[in-house]
Copies of this chain bind each other. A is one copy, B any other.
């Protein structure tokens, strides 16, 4: 008996006080506090050059995800800045595994501070749409392989813990180790630190999630100074996280090839010990060196791309 009681009080630890406003398949958009229908998503991401998920989310292809694992923030910066996207980078996170890159498609979730009046109405609306329990798990259960869970819970630390080790484990399984970005906190860091999925979070706290309401799934959310859209390519490295609009993914990856070959050549030249840095970098001052570089670039680009196509 006592065991059962204890169990229940334990089990209550997560469901304690999370309230969720509304949810959220393409057919249930009308249950959300902030609506963002499948048609909205199609409209606002109409530049997406790739396939889409059934719910309309852009689906950056798997091979590009794989290729993106080698990206660093600076390589992404070059293209986005040039294309006028000045607000796609967020930092200031604690990083679970700093040496492990994070790459995936943004699956977004938004929470707002709990209001009992809104909450009650939302619960009823959800029930009318066939969603019996509304909680963080409702969103988590919709995750797909290759997704990165992107959560705006407005930087909350106490009761802002989107997952503990159990749900982190589930997210890892469901996304195939895609990743987690939360403008908020996590709990059970001891358990989580032994799991092999990248995660970016603001803080850690022993409390469960609570005193919030889930207000949107796969809606536009804000993480730091970035407006994140569902389906954005998420790239995390040791510094922070870039959210790349799908229509720019190919250009970012191509440019990254050139940057990496450029760096390869530059270091090779530095190793020769004959040049000052400014004779080589960022662009060789001597026309002959420049030509040498351009030939190197051309040859290596061909190699790299041939190699990639053979995979």
User: Which B residues are in CB contact (< 8 Å) with A122?
Assistant: 44
User: Which B residues are in CB contact (< 8 Å) with A154?
Assistant: 222, 225
Interface residues of A in 187-214 (CB under 8 A from B): 187-191, 193, 204-207, 211, 213
Total interface residues in chain A, CB < 8 Å:
112
Separation in Å of the A285 CB from the closest CB of chain B?
9
Contact between chains at A78 and B9 (CB < 8 Å)? yes
CA distance A89 to B222 in the complex (A): 22
Separation in Å of the A153 CB from the closest CB of chain B?
11
**7 pairs of A and B residues whose beta carbons are closest in the complex:** A73-B206, A87-B113, A11-B283, A77-B206, A141-B276, A35-B35, A137-B278
Residues of A within 8 A of B (CB): 3-4, 6-15, 33-37, 40, 43-44, 46-47, 72-74, 76-78, 82-89, 91, 98-99, 112-118, 121-122, 125, 133, 135, 137-138, 140-141, 154, 164-167, 169-170, 173-174, 187-191, 193, 204-207, 211, 213, 215, 219-220, 222, 225-227, 229, 237-240, 242, 245, 247, 254-255, 258-259, 262-263, 266-267, 270-271, 273, 276-278, 281-283, 294, 297-298, 301
List 14 interface pairs A-B (beta carbons < 8 Å), by A numbering: A7-B262, A12-B282, A13-B78, A33-B220, A74-B164, A76-B206, A85-B115, A87-B113, A113-B225, A113-B227, A117-B247, A141-B276, A190-B237, A206-B239
